[in-house]
Amino acid sequence: MEEKILEAASYVKNIGVAECTVGIILGTGLGNLVQSISVEKEIPYSEIPHFPEATVEFHSGKLIYGTLQGVKVLAMQGRFHFYEGYDFKQIAFPVCVMHACGIKSLLISNAAGAINLNFKKGDLMLITDHINTFPGNPLIGPNMDELGTRFPDMSQPYSNELCNKLRLIAKNQQISLKEGVYIAAQGPMLETPAEYRYLRLVGGDAVGMSTIPEVIAANHLGLPCCAVSVLTDECDPDNLQPINIEEIIAVAGKAELKLTSLFTELVSNLN
């Protein structure tokens, strides 16, 4: 596995990715940030050795290298989800590759449902903690000692330093940034009313189908990370409205400007 990471990283470096400081994972409907990057290289995932193979519904993924706010970034446009059939090591593989390419921080975005009923569609939520209900994680199996310790500490899964920077930026930009606990569910179906009630009872503020495998991998690597959810639907178990993915993507698209603005400013703080 370690060899595969190094081979993938060498490929990426050999085709022109020199130094890079920040890694970014762009969630569903949140690819817009790429337009602010002055792009030097676009590398389709399919060209990178050992990258997971695309599923039918997921074919446009690429790694984007360039400059944002004078900072060299490596951005993943499109991520791998458990519900598509990937295992957790495959999902986390790009994080390990970006780390091997030199990133010092990882910024993650996703679309999620609001289970805290004080939060509304279109709000942004800084993830301060998470609950993993996926049936596994990327660290199961022999530990890759070169990458990190067998029993990684998870007392601060989302870097306080990065979270504090985001809080300050949101305040300065007058963007309302909620905070809360993200729960990852397997998907691909959305939750039933009873499931939303349950997720709220156990302490969740938002639910989505991604992010936690990447965050676990980042913590194993000792790579500081932070994550922001765009809340795309309100999950009130007593008044649950039918929702479809097109609507989720449309709401994500509308809130995207705020997210792009936060991440862009954060990146400029990270050189």
3 state SS of 175: coil
Contact status: 191 vs ligand HPA (CB under 6 A): yes
Interacting residues with ligand HPA between 243 and 262 (CB under 6 A):
248
Q: Tell me phi and psi for residue 144, to 5 degrees.
A: -90, 90
Contact status: 112 vs ligand HPA (CB under 6 A): yes
* Shortest distance in whole angstroms from residue 116 CB to ligand HPA: 12
Contact status: 232 vs ligand HPA (CB under 6 A): yes
Contact status: 207 vs ligand HPA (CB under 6 A): yes
Query: Is the CA virtual torsion 34, 58, 259, 264 positive or negative?
Result: negative
Contact status: 29 vs ligand HPA (CB under 6 A): no
Query: Given candidates 23, 78, 157, 208, which one binds ligand HPA under the rule CB under 6 A?
Result: 208
Taking the least distance from each CB to ligand HPA, the nearer of 28 and 260 is: 28
Of the candidate spans 6-14, 30-38, 158-166, 231-239, the one that interacts with ligand HPA by CB under 6 A turns out to be: 231-239
User: How would DSSP label each residue in 103-151?
Assistant: -SEEEEEEEEEE-STTS-TT-EEEEEEEEE-SS--TT-SS--TTT--SS
Of the candidate spans 13-21, 88-96, 171-179, 207-215, the one that interacts with ligand HPA by CB under 6 A turns out to be: 207-215
Of the candidate spans 5-13, 131-139, 153-161, 206-214, the one that interacts with ligand HPA by CB under 6 A turns out to be: 206-214
Treating both helix axes as pointing N-terminal to C-terminal, what angle do 88-100 and 212-221 enclose, rounded to 10 degrees?
A: 40
Instruction: Sort strands 124-132 and 225-234 into parallel, antiparallel or unpaired.
Output: antiparallel
What gap in Å lies between CA 251 and CA 232, rounded to an integer?
Answer: 5
- How many chain residues interact with ligand HPA (CB under 6 A)? 13
Question: Taking CA 72 as the corner, what is the angle to CA 69 and CA 78, rounded to the nearest 5 degrees?
Answer: 95
Contact status: 116 vs ligand HPA (CB under 6 A): no
Q: Is 214 exposed, middle or buried (0-12, 13-18, 19+ CB in 10 A)?
A: buried
- Residue ranges binding ligand HPA (CB under 6 A): 111-113, 185, 190-191, 207-209, 232-233, 235, 248
